[in-house]
Structure 1
């Protein structure tokens, strides 16, 4: 059998699980350290593999693509949810889909690091200092400001707690959030418009779906205004990227801290790279030692269990 591990950009996947042990089961492992470009590239590169391990939602496995991979028997996703995998189609095609655990703190901690870096212009001042300059910006403090959390799920609740620890007033909105659920964590539920109108900082933590795509558009960004900043460590398409870039260039948005983008990896000539008042990171939300141990260690366990005929963490109901 052949196993493909996708999107190993840092060439570290082999360090987080004992892949060499799979040789005893007749499984050879191939590590892909480059992104697969398009449908033709994906199909040509992965045809002939029996097992694929996908990193988050980076590679789409829709019905048509899965049908073009007739040898595929097991598809593992890091994490227990992946909007890029058509799980019912996989079920129909006889492909088992399994997930893994993950770190509950990796993404929230990066979110707060990005906000602090933006508030105190840390990347900019670091570059200036190395060039022989001294103080050049005036930052802002988080204490006493209002944090708007868009999506009060597992990650959003951690962000709310961070905000409270820093002395911020925390408000939240998501389509199904109730005032009672918000009050349980000391947060005030407001309408979507009020969130952007009242907040000094909005942090995005909703899942990407067709319903949530573009949930932050120009209207919301203008409500956030010339003194407001946006932090997005969730998914790029949740935010209208064109409106965000215009707001930064035209000055009706104070700043943005981003870890996710519409197109990843971000092209070298992308307009965000030249946008003012930004802090940008290359989707590092899950990139920690602890997270990789959960992802790759769990994926290894999934493969071993499936080879034994007793798959674990199945997302395809009929395979359970």
Structure 2
């Protein structure tokens, strides 16, 4: 097979060369690497002509709307990550006979650890304390002990389940909610399922771990956020589209919350004017929840999906249903 990566980034080039390009070449396949953007639709479509498949990193956004139907002979889209639906029109791909694959679970523990790291950073005011010492001062500000407090986890997918277990191990009273009940999975989780409104009304900290879909977009509304107790904490390492970020920022500015930690944004890099940067209890990180050495396996697994497809045994296939 002859494949192309159009939206490559220099920071990933050596990893992809080692874990994808060279192994594919050893099996008689070719992956050409380019570091371009999808913003120029015509250039993106032109770049893909003559290729059997596309390897998508995803950091440059979704494939252009006209892409799939404009590349004759395209058979495979191998997405480097979990949420392929955000980057590829899977229903259209199916109608055109194009297979879409993803990496269903590659960084659950890494993202969960980052969520807990943000929770600690907010609760113990770590960035604020660091800034105080660096300024030559020695002011001590009161933090929150997490043990004994209530942690609400929104979403019981692989990452959410890890956060539930870690929160329980910290001595927190964990409660969770998911759009669909999963008794066979939830039976093995510590804590208990509660309605979403109750979760917000009773949690000292809430961590978001839902997949972004049409049904979950904006699900964490201003009304839900207003239900939070005074001095609660909100953590989002899932998708910005789940959360009314403006309402969250308004609560921070009013002093209603102890703080918030965000690793995901509607546009990346974010428009900083949309955030109250003067609020030291707002911690922002550049979508690095999955950036660990172990989670870099995502590139390799996406490459292995290509080999499986070429061998006639596709795996990790994403469907529109």
TM range (shorter): 0.7 to 0.9
Q: 2:249, 2:276 within 8 Å by CA — same for their partners in 1? A: no
Q: 1:57, 1:83 within 8 Å by CA — same for their partners in 2? A: no
For residue 85 of structure 2, what is the aligned residue in structure 1? 83
1:54 equivalent in alignment to 2:62: no
CA offsets per residue over residues 1-41 of structure 1, 9 Å max, x none?
34115353623433551413545636242142x65447567
Given the superposition, is the C-alpha separation of residues 178 and 15 from structure 1 closer, same or farther in structure 2, using an over 3 Å criterion?
A: closer
Correspondence 1:66-215 to 2 at 5 A: 66-70=68-72, 72-84=74-86, 85-100=88-103, 101-177=105-181, 182=186, 184-215=188-219
Given the superposition, is the C-alpha separation of residues 154 and 305 from structure 1 closer, same or farther in structure 2, using an over 3 Å criterion?
A: closer
1:221 equivalent in alignment to 2:225: yes
CA offsets per residue over residues 222-264 of structure 1, 9 Å max, x none?
1114311100111111001111121112222321111111112
Q: Which runs of 5+ in 2 are unaligned?
A: none
Given the superposition, is the C-alpha separation of residues 7 and 210 from structure 1 closer, same or farther in structure 2, using an over 3 Å criterion?
A: farther
Q: 1:35 and 1:133 mapped to 2: Cα distance?
A: 45
Of 288, 300, 305 in structure 1, the residue corresponding to residue 303 of structure 2 is: 300
Q: 1:111, 1:233 within 8 Å by CA — same for their partners in 2? A: yes
SS at match of 1:111: helix
Given the superposition, is the C-alpha separation of residues 296 and 43 from structure 1 closer, same or farther in structure 2, using an over 3 Å criterion?
A: same
Given the superposition, is the C-alpha separation of residues 80 and 283 from structure 1 closer, same or farther in structure 2, using an over 3 Å criterion?
A: closer
1:66 deviation in Å? Answer: 2.1
TM-score by length of 2: 0.85
Q: 1:119 and 1:306 mapped to 2: Cα distance?
A: 46
CA offsets per residue over residues 144-195 of structure 1, 9 Å max, x none?
1111111123222221111111111111222323789656423122222211
Relative to structure 2, which stretch is displaced further, 297-306 or 89-98?
297-306
Q: 1:19 and 1:202 mapped to 2: Cα distance?
A: 41
1:127 deviation in Å? Answer: 2.6
1:109 deviation in Å? Answer: 0.9
Query: Please, what is the CA RMSD of the aligned residues?
Result: 2.9
Q: 2:46 and 2:138 mapped to 1: Cα distance?
A: 53
Q: 1:83, 1:208 within 8 Å by CA — same for their partners in 2? A: no
Q: Which runs of 5+ in 1 are unaligned?
A: none
* Deviating 4+ runs (over 6 angstroms): 178-181
TM-score by length of 1: 0.85
Given the superposition, is the C-alpha separation of residues 26 and 140 from structure 1 closer, same or farther in structure 2, using an over 3 Å criterion?
A: closer
Given the superposition, is the C-alpha separation of residues 18 and 130 from structure 1 closer, same or farther in structure 2, using an over 3 Å criterion?
A: same
For residue 238 of structure 1, what is the aligned residue in structure 2? 242
Q: 1:144, 1:167 within 8 Å by CA — same for their partners in 2? A: yes
